Structure formats: C-alpha cells, structure tokens
Structure 1
Amino acid sequence: MFAFAVKRILQAMIVMLIISCIGFAIKHNFGDPVRDLVGQRVTPAERAEIREQLGLNDPFLVQYVRFLGAAAKGDLGLSYFFKKPATEVILKKAPATLELVFCAALIITLLSVPLGIYAAIKPKSLLSRIVMGVSTVGVSMPVFLTAILLIYIFSVELKWLPSFGRGETVLLFGWWESGLVTWDGLQHLIMPSVALSSIMLPLFIRLIRSEMMEVLESEYVKYAWAKGLRPRRIWWVHAFKNTLLPVITVGGVQLGIMVAFTILTETVFQWQGMGSMFIESVERSDTSLMVAYLVFVGFVFVLVNTAVDIIYGLVNPMVRVAGRK
C-alpha cells in the first residue's frame, strides 16, 4: 500500500507541474499587466523600467523557474490590481466558494442516495419514473439557466429568498468569513447551492441507480435473499455498501469539477468567491491572479483525486494489484 500511495503522489506532482507550466504560459502571453497596473499617463520609459523591475523582460524559462521556486514556498505572485500577494487574495475569497461547494455536496448526498436506491429497488413505480425523467432534464439543463429560473421563481415572483450576494457574514477563526452561522447568510446560500448541486445531482442519482441495480442482480445478494435476511439489511448493508466504490471514485472527480463550475453560479448570483474573482482578473488582465487561481483549482483537483485513489486502494485491494501490474 505504501508503494501504491507513493506512486499516486508522484503522479500528482507531475500533473501539478504540467498545470503550472500551462498556467504560466497563459500568463506569459495574455495581455500587458504593466498597462493595467499603471494606467495611460505613465511614459514608455517608465513602463519599461517597471517591466524590468517585475522581471517581465526575462526569458520564459527564467521566469518559469523563478515562479516554481516561489510557488514551492506558497508564493504565487503579486496581484497587479489588488497590490497584494495572489495567495492572500485567493484565501480571502476561498471561504465563500468552499461553503457553496460544501452545501451543494450536502444536497447531492442527501438527495441522490435515497432517490437512487429507491429508483433501483422499484424501477417501475411512478416516483421512480418521475425521478428518472427529472434527472434526464437536469443533466441537459445548464447551471446558469437553472440559476436564472430559481431567481425568477423564488426572488421575483414569490419574494421568498434574496437573489444576490452573501448576506450577513461572521468572521471565524480570525480569517474565515462565514455565512453559515447567520440566518441571513443561510438564506442567501440556499439558491446558489441548489443551482450548483443541479450540475451533479442528476448524474449521481442515475449512477447510484445503475450500480445498485447491477449489485442487486449479483449472486451474493441472491444468496442473502435465500437466507431470509430482512430487505432493509440486504439493500443497505449488502447492496449499497458495494455500490459505494464507483460512487466514491466519481464523487472525487466531480467535487473538483464543482469548484471550477462555481464561476457560472457565482456570476449569476454575484457571489463574491473565487469564481467571480477569476472573471474580474480576466477583465483586468491580472495575469498573476489568473495563474494563481488556475494553480489553486488544479491543486484541489489533484489533491481530491489522489486522496480518492488512495482511499479506493484501501477499500479495494484489487486496485493496488492492478496498479503494480
């Protein structure tokens, strides 16, 4: 198991190296940060001096090696617009995005598991047909359209929920600005988290249903029925436990995707998280902040997938054997 974990960690480091190279190449060729940093009144000579001070005239390889050395220390560059370290700007915006992803993942878990199991146990019932029909529509509907429909129904027509912003937040642990501990913050969180969960919820319902139906046809489940075990024990202990393996694998990948997909959700709801920060950095040609965001999101992807691979290897030893082969 130790060799398996080391192999996955080395693969993760290679992937991060590739992500950093792609991100830095975008920074090297996208826009002119000096122009957006100083405005139009600065003379060309002063601009050339600033470029020299920032190291923007150095060859690409020299700049990239310097970037890697700083990134290893947690320094992803200086935001040209905020005049602050990019890591500091991202960490300030991260709580909003992570809380949104957490609530969306909670909604997905609480709804997909019972609905997927019910649709597998009683595939011909009316509720199962409705669930599968709605999930088909949900897979086809883009998240921004879902968000706009939620705003129209619950904010414009019914006037039940606020349509934008984070609401009242409280500072926790000295740096985490949270809306989960205030009623106003929770009200503002409902629609964005529901909209974000609509991306993955239909997928997980269909995945759990298909895996559960396959497991229910296996020999050991038929043997459990023959022994006279209670249906609930067969469904939850024998069947659902073995359904979780592929769900964990897909869930790890989709969790990273949700972090990236918050860009659309945060834009519609004016949610001040990392997604809206990235859009603003593109508009301002703040290339340092763009690269820092790409590296951070890539790190989340790699970290989650590496953790899932290691957990999957612990749960299923056949994965470790296949990896050695």
Structure 2
Amino acid sequence: MSVFILRRLLQSLFVLLAVSLVVFFAVYAVGDPIELLVSPDAGQAEREALIARLGLDLPIWQQYGHFLWNALHGDMGVSFVHGVPAIELILSRFPATLELVVVAILLTCTVGIPLGLVAGLYRERYLGRGIMAGSILGFSLPNFWQGMVFILLFSVWLGWLPASGRGPTVNVAGVPLSIFTPQGWSHIILPAINLAVANIALVLRMTASGVAEAQSQDYVRFARAKGIRPGRIVRRHILRNIMIPVVTVIGMEFGTLIAYSTITETVFSWPGMGKLLIDSVYQLDRPVVVAYVMLVTLLFVLINLIVDILYAVLDPRVQLTEQSQ
C-alpha cells in the first residue's frame, strides 16, 4: 500500500503543477483588475504604484515563477480586493460550504440508497417503475431554476423557510457552524436539498441497477435456495456487493459539490466558497480564483486516493499494488 500511495502522490504533484500552469495563465490573461481597483479620478503615479505593489508590472512568466515559489511555501497570494491572504479568505468561507455539502451528501445517502434499493427489488412493479421515472426529474431540472422554484414555493408562498443567508452560527472547536442551531437548520434545508437532488437521482439509479444485477447472480440464488431470509440476503449479499460503485460516486460527488456549489450558493446567497469564487471572478480578484482552483484540485486528488483505499477495504479482491505481469 505504501508503494501505491507514494506513486499516487507523485502523480498528484504533476497534476497540481499542470493545473497551476493552465489556470494561472488563463486567469491572468483575462481583463485588467487595475481598472476595477483604481478610482477613475486617480492619477498616473497612483495607478503605477498600485500596479507595482501587486506585481502586475512583471512579465507574466515571472509572475508565475513568483506564484509557484510562494505556493511551495504555502502562500497563494493576497486578494486584490480584500487585502488578505487568498488562502485565509477561502478557508474562512470553507466551513459554510462544508456543512452545506455534508448535509447534501447525508440527504443523498439517506434518500437515494433506500429508494434505489426499493426500485431495484421491485423493478417490475409500479412502485419501482414510478421511482425510476421520478428520478429522471433529478437529472432534467436546471439547478438554478430548481433553486428559484424552491424559494418561490417554500419561502415566498408558504413562508416556511428563509430564502437566503446562513443564519446564526455556533463555534465548534473554533469553527463557526450553523447546523447546531434551529435557525441554522431552517436556512440550510433549501440549499442542501437543491444541491442534493441531482445526486439523489444518480445514487438512486446506480443502486437500483446494482440491485437488479446482483439478484441474478449465482451467490444470491444459492442463498435463496438455502432458505436464508430475504432481509438477510439484501443486507449481506446484495447491498454489501453493490456499495463499491456507490461509494465511488458519493466520494467523487463530495468533491464535486464542494468545487461546484457556486450556483446553489449564489441563488440562496449562502456565504461559502462558491459565492466567493463568483464574486472574485466578477471583481477580477486573480489570486483568489487561482487559489480556489488549486485547493479544489488538491481536494479531488485526496478524495481519489481515499476512494481507492476504501476499494480495498470493501472488496479484498481489489489490490493496491501492481500485479506482476
């Protein structure tokens, strides 16, 4: 396992280097942040002083070299707009995004897996067909439109839940979280559901497909022939064997939701990393955009590694070391 982890870490370094190169040059080639940061009434001397202070007077390859050297020391630059380190600014928004994603993933697991199990076990009946037909909506509805419908229905018409914001927070080990307050839950329900709908449909269909396939396997038929109770067959023989692809999807979607929760956070004004990214793009806050992409890439790399290791835990047939040819 140590050889596998070392090899993956080396691959990850090359991935991070390639991403940093592409993102840096792409972001720094778009727009001129000086036009947004400097007042129209500012003189030329003030303008040039700001350009020099931000390091924008250097050739782009030299700017990238400075960025890469500083990144190796944990410095991803200073936000042009906020004047604080980009990493510090992003991490200050991370708890809000993390708790939103965690609630969305919990909803995905608690709703998607049981519904998929029912749909797979009763696929030839109206119940199973109805669940599978309803799951199509999860893939079909645009995320932003879906969020606005939730706001219109539950906030405007019914007045049950707030339409925006995060609500009051409680410090847990120095981290501000809103899920430990009743008002916080009322704020997080709508954006979490909006974020989870597509993933519920995905996990549901994968689970149903796995259950349908597992029921035709010899080990399930043999278990039935031995007279094992149907509930035990489902728990020990069907559900356990279909969890590997489901765990893979859930693991990948966890990183995806953190990286691409921008639409949901924007629609519901959720003060997380996604909304910060959108605001930074509008403001041409280059260090924040680059730092965000690099952190997300690192997150995906770590999640991939964890999922691969979980493969071996869930299925002993999976080997983490290279097999001899």
Regarding TM over 0.5, the answer is yes
Q: CA deviation at 1:45?
A: 3.4
Q: For the residues of structure 2 that align with 1:136 and 1:28, how far apart are their CA atoms?
A: 40
Q: 1:285 to 1:222 in 2, by over 3 A?
A: same
Q: For the residues of structure 2 that align with 1:310 and 1:66, how far apart are their CA atoms?
A: 35
Paired residue type of 1:80: F
Q: 1:85 to 1:224 in 2, by over 3 A?
A: same
Q: TM-score, normalised by structure 2?
A: 0.94
| Local SS of the residue matching 1:168 | coil
Tell me what 1:79 maps to: 79
Contact 2:265 2:275 in 1 (8 A): yes
Which range moved further: 78-87 or 4-13?
4-13
Q: TM-score, normalised by structure 1?
A: 0.94
1:88 equivalent in alignment to 2:100: no
Tell me what 1:154 maps to: 154
Paired residue type of 2:93: K
Tell me what 2:191 maps to: 192
Q: 1:228 to 1:321 in 2, by over 3 A?
A: farther
Q: CA deviation at 1:221?
A: 1.3
Tell me what 1:100 maps to: 100
Tell me what 1:168 maps to: 168
Q: How does 1:119-134 map to 2 (within 5 A)?
A: 119-134=119-134
Which range moved further: 38-47 or 179-188?
38-47
Which range moved further: 187-196 or 2-11?
2-11
List runs of 5+ in structure 2 lacking aligned partners.
none
Which range moved further: 295-304 or 266-275?
295-304
Q: For the residues of structure 2 that align with 1:134 and 1:149, how far apart are their CA atoms?
A: 17
List runs of 5+ in structure 1 lacking aligned partners.
none
Q: CA deviation at 1:324?
A: 6.6
Q: For the residues of structure 1 that align with 2:272 and 2:19, how far apart are their CA atoms?
A: 22
Tell me what 1:227 maps to: 226
Tell me what 1:30 maps to: 30
Q: How does 1:204-223 map to 2 (within 5 A)?
A: 204-223=203-222
Q: CA deviation at 1:321?
A: 5.8
Q: For the residues of structure 2 that align with 1:153 and 1:223, how far apart are their CA atoms?
A: 50
Tell me the C-alpha RMSD between the 2 structures: 1.8
Q: For the residues of structure 2 that align with 1:70 and 1:99, how far apart are their CA atoms?
A: 30
| Local SS of the residue matching 2:171 | strand
Moved over 6 A (4+): none
Q: For the residues of structure 2 that align with 1:114 and 1:21, how far apart are their CA atoms?
A: 43
Paired residue type of 2:205: R
Q: For the residues of structure 2 that align with 1:184 and 1:269, how far apart are their CA atoms?
A: 15
Contact 1:208 1:243 in 2 (8 A): yes
Contact 2:4 2:321 in 1 (8 A): no
Tell me what 2:49 maps to: 49
Contact 1:76 1:85 in 2 (8 A): yes
Q: For the residues of structure 1 that align with 2:159 and 2:130, how far apart are their CA atoms?
A: 28
Contact 2:76 2:291 in 1 (8 A): yes
Tell me what 1:309 maps to: 308
| Local SS of the residue matching 1:320 | coil
Q: 1:4 to 1:135 in 2, by over 3 A?
A: same
Q: For the residues of structure 1 that align with 2:21 and 2:35, how far apart are their CA atoms?
A: 24
Q: 1:107 to 1:155 in 2, by over 3 A?
A: same
Contact 1:221 1:239 in 2 (8 A): yes
| Local SS of the residue matching 1:214 | helix
Q: CA deviation at 1:189?
A: 0.5
Tell me what 1:242 maps to: 241
Q: 1:21 to 1:110 in 2, by over 3 A?
A: same
Tell me what 2:113 maps to: 113
Q: For the residues of structure 2 that align with 1:307 and 1:58, how far apart are their CA atoms?
A: 40
TM-superposition CA deviations, 1:231-257 (whole Å, max 9, x none): 111111111111011111222222111
Q: CA deviation at 1:322?
A: 6.4
Q: Percent identity?
A: 38
1:285 equivalent in alignment to 2:248: no
Tell me what 2:140 maps to: 140
Which range moved further: 300-309 or 54-63?
54-63
Paired residue type of 2:33: P
Tell me what 1:7 maps to: 7
TM-superposition CA deviations, 1:87-127 (whole Å, max 9, x none): 11111111111111000000000011111111111112332
Q: For the residues of structure 1 that align with 2:2 and 2:111, how far apart are their CA atoms?
A: 36
Q: CA deviation at 1:195?
A: 0.4
| Local SS of the residue matching 2:70 | helix
The count of corresponding residues between Structure 1 and Structure 2 is: 324
TM-superposition CA deviations, 1:200-243 (whole Å, max 9, x none): 11011000110121112111111111111111111111111110
